[in-house]
Amino acid sequence: MALVSGAGGTGSGTSDDGAPAGSVDADTLTASLPAQPAAGKLEYRVELETPADVVRIPGDYTDAAGADGDETVILRYKNPVPAGVLIPHVLFMFFAILVGVRSGLAAAVGRAEYRRYAWTALGLMTVAGMILGPIVQKHAFGKFWTGWPNGYDLTDNKTLIMWLVWVVACAVLGLARKTRARERAGRGVVAIATLVMLAVYLVPHSLRGSELDYSRLDQGTEPAEAIETGR
C-alpha cells in the first residue's frame, strides 16, 4: 500500500518525502497522516498495488476537456472550537434565517408582524454572526475577523452583508411613520433583506476562507502569522 500525500492547499504536485507509515493488521490496512497547523490543508490518495494493477482511491478522472487527472481527498485543519460557543453560533444562525424568511413572507402578504420578525432577525444575526462568529473564528484560526477590511474571508464578508441589510431594513422600519407610502417602503426593504439573506446562504460555507501559506512557513514564519484569506 502506498499513501501519496502533499501539503499546501490544492497544488497539483504530490510528494513522497516523509511519507506516512503504513501497516497491515489481518485484513486491515492502516496509515497515518502528519498533522497540520490551523488553516493548513493536506491532499492525499491511497494506492493499492495488486498483481493485476494499481488501484487508486479516489480513482482517476477525466475533465470536460478530456484531460486525465488524479482525484485526491483534501483535509482542512483547524483548532478545536468549544461546543459552548459553536453550538449556540449554529443555532442562532439557523433561527436568524428562519425568522428572516418569516419576516419576508409576512411583508409580502402585508401582515403587520413582519416588523417584529425583522427586528428579531437582526438581533439573532447580531448575536450569531457579529458576536459568536468572530469568537468561533478566533478559536479555529487565531483571528477574530478576517473579512473586510482586514481580509477577504468570504464567510465573514457574507455575514457582514447579511447583517448590514437587516440593519438598513430595521433602520427604515424604525424611521418610517405610519403612512401608506412608508409602510410599502418598509415592506419592500424587508423583502430585499430576505432575498439578500437567501442569496448569501446559497454561497458555500468556508469558501475562500483562512488558508496556511506554506511558502511563508518554509521561510520560518510562525504558523499563526502565515495564515491568509481569500485565496
Rounded Cα–Cα distance for residues 93 and 156 (Å): 13
Domain boundaries of the chain, sorted by first residue: 2-76, 83-207
Say if residue 149 is preceded by a cis peptide, omega within 30 of 0.
yes
Maximum Cα–Cα distance across the chain: 82
pLDDT per 10-residue tile (average), the chain, 231 residues: 51 44 68 84 83 80 63 86 96 96 94 92 96 93 85 87 95 75 86 94 75 82 75 54
As a whole number of angstroms, the distance between CA 179 and CA 176 comes to: 8
Q: Say what the pLDDT of residue 174 is.
A: 82
User: Which residues share a beta bridge with 49?
Assistant: 54
Burial 129-148 (b: 16+ CB within 10 A, else e): beebbbbbbebbbbbebbbe
Amino acid found at 207? L
pTM strictly above 0.75: no
**Which residues, 6+ apart, have CB-to-CB distance to 32 below 8 Å?**
20, 21
